[in-house]
Amino acid sequence: MRYADVAKAERIRIYDVARVAGVSVATASKALNDTGRMTEATRTRVKQTAAALGFRPNAMARALTKHRSFTVGLLTNDTYGRFTLPVMAGVSEALVDQGVSVFLCGIEDDAALGKVHVDAMLDKQVDGIIATGKRIDRRLPVDLSGLPMPVVYAFTEGPEDAITLVSDDAQGAREAVEWLVQAGRKNIVHVTGPETFVSVGERARAFRAVVGEAGRVLHGPWSEAWGHEAVGRLWSEAGDKPDAVFCGNDQIARGVVDALRERGIVVPDQVSVVGFDNWEIVSAATRPPLTSVDMNLKELGREAGRLILELAEGKPVEPGVRQLPCKLVVRQSCGGVRRSSDQQGGVLEEV
Amino acid sequence: MRYADVAKAERIRIYDVARVAGVSVATASKALNDTGRMTEATRTRVKQTAAALGFRPNAMARALTKHRSFTVGLLTNDTYGRFTLPVMAGVSEALVDQGVSVFLCGIEDDAALGKVHVDAMLDKQVDGIIATGKRIDRRLPVDLSGLPMPVVYAFTEGPEDAITLVSDDAQGAREAVEWLVQAGRKNIVHVTGPETFVSVGERARAFRAVVGEAGRVLHGPWSEAWGHEAVGRLWSEAGDKPDAVFCGNDQIARGVVDALRERGIVVPDQVSVVGFDNWEIVSAATRPPLTSVDMNLKELGREAGRLILELAEGKPVEPGVRQLPCKLVVRQSCGGVRRSSDQQGGVLEEV
């Protein structure tokens, strides 16, 4: 290809093709990539338009590395921001030194709104898209396959062949339960969220892998009220009472701690409690403050930022699901002793 | 000016001037607008560079209306997102139908980071910038005056001649206290945050304007623990106990409600409690759920979005501080009766 041709190809953007063909940028992109669903007539019209305008699909990949827009789009359906904010903070941290800015687009669970935002990202030729959400077992209501820029999925489900980052729920749960066992707890109960969440199943399996298959798991809503109710149920039964409760999130754990205090049961002296999420507004305000599993969402965001940069620079990244480790943040609700950073025995510190 | 000149002027961007002159885009912009602080040598160098390149400052304003980028930058130092997320949601809602996307840039309290993000926004020629924060009496650590695009300040302090949107704290506090008076409460105490916050002063003045100048105001940190401590202090004093506590935020209110329950005092039968912020994770989880003043931050964001669009389209907007009304969200902690939407008496509904 001669220089003049390249210059021309790079002047004609996918946006121009879409406009002239009367389709969205996403549709134009899919038509030229032979992906997505559309009538053959539409695909043909887009291809003919591209040819007539002198648009060269191959120029796109080159344009991405040569003419980077230094913007990355972050799509989320987590309007409350509980999970997206730390991810966003990590993404920003990874990108700011590279002069890359982040578009945050809240699409709720609205496919039409998702399409609007994806089209806008295509128009603006973002260097890449990071999709994030509030559940690792749910997809965003938009199809990001076949786009002319790289996509990384972080804390949301991606397609089979995608690059997906999730927290290692099983490892996080295992560390929490092992802590309780090391603290001498013999009768640990798991009070958690609805069975329909994949993360609930993973945490429950990890719990039983440590305490044995007879380990008791109680499911309910993700609320403080459920924590109260679970304590009411467990402590009204005959027989031995639990000496530790591992909770599926911090709100449930706060309900458990409050309910125990109201029964005159001292946490952690009589019963240890551990939460999940390490949402400080809840975990730090609980009396006593909650030990909780932190999913390291900021680090997950940083990693997503690093990967999208590598992809935008044309470097190869292996597809697949990457599980990032959680860490146990120890406060006063769990009892037991913290091993020093030297995990091979050594100094013990009482908490 | 002939057409060719315009075309040439529009091809040379402020970014090119800045690069050639060896200054940031913000500095170049200020130099050409005769604003900002810099040495005369720098200002002269920028102007000479602009002249040499054929850059015409007047072309900028035209470019803004003719060649809109359909992006708006949202700058915030509220990394936790407590206040920024609802503002952002409102801004997005106002802009999405116009095909305008939002860059969210978290600058913490870091002036250097702020400059990086503002420069990026200038590079990308955003149609406007919305500055937002976590306090209405603090400025962001960046100077946004003299930029070649409109700026709106929302829930953060702006310069004298700026367009600034804040919540009407006094009106919100007044409505809350008037509710308590109408509910028959005679001994209302205000437990609130540090005196250094302007909003704390406004709310306290509004409180005293309703209950009288002798109305008691207790200052402390913005925490649940402070709510507990305040109840401990008030209920250990001799004499009549309060029959209502109006709190400066929901965390304090939750601490007050919990401390009262632990003393066997029934909310709202014996003591009414009202919070501020209507942060649902706190207000809805309190037992009983908190009545709270909602600052309508999403509507504030919507209004900021509407204003920035008008400005980007070249419409005039009167500068000054606009106070947007708060609303009282009535749940179970306050007692009293809700007047129907017809504020002139009429149907009463018990809560």
- Residue-wise pLDDT for B7-50, tens only, equals 344 456 777 788 888 888 778 878 887 777 889 999 999 988 88
What pLDDT does residue A41 have?
Answer: 92
The domain total for chain B is 3
Spacing of C-alpha A114 from chain mean position: 18
Whether residue A285 and residue B102 make contact (CB cut-off 8 A), yes or no, is no
Residue of B nearest to A97 (CA): B116
Mean pLDDT, all residues of chain B: 87
The verdict on a CB contact (< 8 Å) between B223 and A285 is: yes
Q: Are B307 and B239 within one domain?
A: no
User: Does A187 lie in the same domain as A109?
Assistant: no
Q: Does residue B154 lie within any of the structural domains?
A: yes
Strands A151-154 and A327-329: unpaired
Closest by Cβ to B116, choosing from A96, A103, A224 = A96
Considering chain B, what percentage of its residues have pLDDT values greater than 70? 89
Query: In A, which residues are within 8 Å of B85 by CB distance?
Result: 79-81, 85
Whole domain around residue B24: which residue ranges? 3-49
pLDDT computed for residue A48 by the predictor: 87
Residue A319 lies in a domain: no
| Interatomic CA distance for residues B167 and B170, integer angstroms | 9
> What does the pLDDT read at residue A194?
98
* A173 and A153 belong to one structural domain: no
Residue A188 located in a structural domain: yes
**DSSP conformation letters of B20-41:** HHTS-HHHHHHHHTT-S---HH
Whether residue B118 is predicted with pLDDT greater than 80 in this model: the reply is yes
pLDDT band at B116 (very low <50, low <70, confident <90, very high): confident
Question: Do B251 and A102 lie within an 8 Å CB cutoff?
Answer: no
Task: Please give the structure tokens belonging to residue B143.
Answer: 């100077």
Beta-carbon pairs below 8 A across chains A and B? 78
Structure tokens at B208: 């005293």
With beta carbons under 8 A apart, name residues in chain B contacting A124: 69, 71, 101
Contact B101 A92 (CB under 8 A): no
Instruction: Single out the residue of B217, B214, B276 nearest to residue B247, CA to CA.
Output: B276
B residues 181-210 lying closer than 8 A (beta carbon) to A: none
Nearest to A281 among B70, B99, B281 (CB): B281
Chain A neighbors of B223, CB-CB under 8 A: 285
The reply to whether A21 falls in a domain is no
How confident is the model at residue A179, as a pLDDT? Answer: 97
Residue type, B236: S
pLDDT tens-digit readout, B168-223: 999 999 999 999 999 999 999 999 999 999 999 999 999 999 999 999 999 999 99
Q: Please tell me whether residues B78 and B38 are part of one structural domain.
A: no
Q: If you ran DSSP here, which 8-state letter would residue B125 be given? A: T
Residue B58 in domain: no
- Report whether pLDDT(B67) > 70: no
A100: left (phi over 0), alpha (psi -120 to 50) or beta: beta
Q: Output the six-digit token pair for B228.
A: 């507990």
Please indicate, yes or no, if residue A54 is contained in any of the structural domains.
no
- A124 and A257 inside one domain: no
The percent of residues above 70 in pLDDT, for chain A, comes to 89
Q: Among A140, A159, A178, which residue terminates a domain?
A: A159
B289 contact residues in A (CB cutoff 8 A)? none
Is B152 in the same domain as B214?
Answer: no
Q: Quick one: B334 and B188 in the same domain?
A: yes
Nearest to B99 among A69, A79, A120 (CB): A120
CB-based contact B101 A81, cutoff 8 Å: no
State how beta strands A291-294 and A272-276 pair: parallel
Please indicate, yes or no, whether residues B339 and B204 belong to a single structural domain of this protein: yes
Cα A274–A275–A278 angle (5° rounding)? 125
pLDDT at B272 over 70: yes
Q: Check pLDDT > 50 for residue A347.
A: no
Closest CA to B227 of B183, B266, B169, B274: B274
pLDDT at B226 over 60: yes
pLDDT of residue B247: 98
- pLDDT one-digit tens code per residue, A160-201: 899 999 999 999 999 999 999 999 999 999 999 999 999 999
Q: Is the pLDDT of residue B101 over 90?
A: no
CB neighbours of residue A209 within 10 Å? 14
pLDDT band for position B346 (cuts 50, 70, 90): very low
Q: How confident is the model at residue A61 (pLDDT cuts 50, 70, 90)?
A: very low
The helix (run of H) or strand (run of E) holding residue B102 is strand B101-106
The DSSP letter of residue A326 is P
| Domain assignment of residue B55, yes or no | no
User: Does position A345 have pLDDT exceeding 70, yes or no?
Assistant: no
Reference B283, options A137, A281, A340; nearest CA is A281
**Residue percentage of chain B with pLDDT more than 90:** 59
Whether the per-residue pLDDT at B69 is higher than 80: the answer is no
Peptide bond into B268 cis (omega under 30): yes
Q: How far is B172 from chain A (nearest CA, A)?
A: 24
pLDDT grade, residue B56 (50/70/90)?
low
Across the interface, do B124 and A71 touch by the CB < 8 Å criterion?
A: yes
* Residue A121 sits in the same domain as residue A269: no
Model confidence pLDDT, tens digit, residues B299-334: 999 999 999 999 998 889 999 999 999 999 999 999
> Could you tell me if B112 and B251 lie in one domain?
no
Domain check: are A174 and A280 in the same one?
A: yes
CA distance A119 to chain B (A): 9
CB contact residues (below 8 A), chain A span 229-288, against chain B: 251, 254, 258, 281-282, 285
Which sign does the torsion angle of CA B234, B240, B244, B248 carry?
negative
Among B104, B113, B119, most A C-beta atoms within 10 A, so best to mutate, is B104
Q: What is the pLDDT at residue B85?
A: 85
Cα separations (Å) of A76 from A73, A105, B263? 10, 6, 44
Helix A14-21 vs helix A111-123: angle between axes, to the nearest 10 degrees?
Answer: 130
How far is Cα A185 from Cα B334, in angstroms, rounded to an integer?
A: 42
Residues B247 and B343 in one domain: yes
Q: Could you say which residues from 20 to 79 on chain B have a Cβ atom under 8 Å away from some Cβ of chain A? A: 69-71, 79
Q: Which residues contact A320 (CB under 8 A, 6 or more apart)?
A: A163, A164
B62 confidence band (pLDDT: 50, 70, 90): very low
- pLDDT of A65 above 80: no
Helix (H, G, I), strand (E, B) or coil at A287: coil
**B63 pLDDT band (50/70/90 cuts)?**
very low
Q: Are A132 and A84 in contact (CB under 8 A)?
A: yes
| Chain B residues whose beta carbon lies within 8 Å of the beta carbon of residue A89 | 79, 106
Tell me if A103 sits within 8 A of A124, measured CB to CB: yes
Q: B54 near B9, Cβ under 8 Å?
A: yes
Whether residues B85 and A81 touch (CB distance < 8 A) is answered with yes
pLDDT at A11: 54
Q: Do residues A170 and A344 touch, judged by C-beta distance below 8 A?
A: no
Tell me the pLDDT band of A35, cut-offs 50, 70 and 90. Answer: confident
Among the partner residues B88, B113, B123, nearest to A96 by beta-carbon distance? B113
Whether the per-residue pLDDT at A274 is higher than 50: the answer is: yes
Measured between CA atoms, the residue of chain B closest to residue A121 is B101
**Which spans in A34-155 are helix H?**
40-53, 57-66, 84-96, 111-123
pLDDT band at residue A346 using 50, 70 and 90 as cut-offs: very low
Considering only alpha carbons, which residue of chain A is nearest residue B258?
A258
Average pLDDT over residues A198-222: 97
User: Do the Cβ atoms of B89 and A106 come within 8 Å?
Assistant: yes
The chain-wide mean pLDDT, for chain A, equals: 87
Contact assignment for B117 to A101 by CB distance below 8 Å: yes
- Does B102 touch chain A if contact means CB atoms closer than 8 Å? yes
Tell me, what's the pLDDT at B57?
55
- Give the closest of B89, B101, B224 to A120, CB-based: B101
CATH number, residue B11:
1.10.260
Q: Min CA distance, A303 vs chain B (Å)?
A: 18
Assigned domain for B54 exists: no
Asked if B317 and B311 touch (Cβ cutoff 8 Å), the reply is: yes
**Cβ atoms within 10 Å, residue A114:** 22
Confidence at residue A107, expressed as pLDDT on a 0 to 100 scale: 85
Look up the CATH number of the domain holding residue A104: 3.40.50.2300
